[in-house]
């Protein structure tokens, strides 16, 4: 396991914690930020992409699929 994949796993864990915290306090913006962090971490861990590349890939996906509502639900 290389460093980039490890950082991706840590990013997923942090995203999960942020998402649960947002659910606990009832803030949908914090929940959405946690999900975004979790998805970025998953890209980073699976593909070994650097943080900037993972963020760019997720942003490209979101821009191409604006009407896709599955990311808003669990």
Question: What are the pLDDT digits (tens) for 1-56?
Answer: 688 788 888 889 999 999 999 999 999 999 999 998 898 888 888 877 777 888 88
Quote the CA–CA distance of 48 and 3 in Å, as a whole number: 9
Other Cβ atoms less than 10 A from the Cβ of 14: the count is 14
pLDDT of residue 74: 47
pLDDT of residue 58: 82
pTM greater than the 0.75 cutoff: no
What does the block give as tokens for 25? 């306090």
* DSSP state string for 18-66: HHHHHHHHT-HHHHHHHHHHHHHHHHHHHH---HHHHHHHHHHHHHHTT
Where are the domains positioned within the chain? 3-72
Quote the CA–CA distance of 41 and 55 in Å, as a whole number: 9
């Amino acid at each position: 396991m290389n460093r980039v994949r490890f950082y991706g796993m840590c990013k997923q864990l942090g995203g999960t914690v942020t998402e649960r915290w947002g659910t606990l306090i009832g803030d949908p913006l914090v929940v959405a930020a946690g999900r975004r962090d979790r998805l970025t971490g998953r890209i980073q861990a699976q593909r070994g992409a650097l943080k900037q590349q993972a963020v760019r890939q997720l942003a490209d996906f979101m821009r191409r699929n604006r009407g896709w509502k599955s990311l808003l639900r669990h």
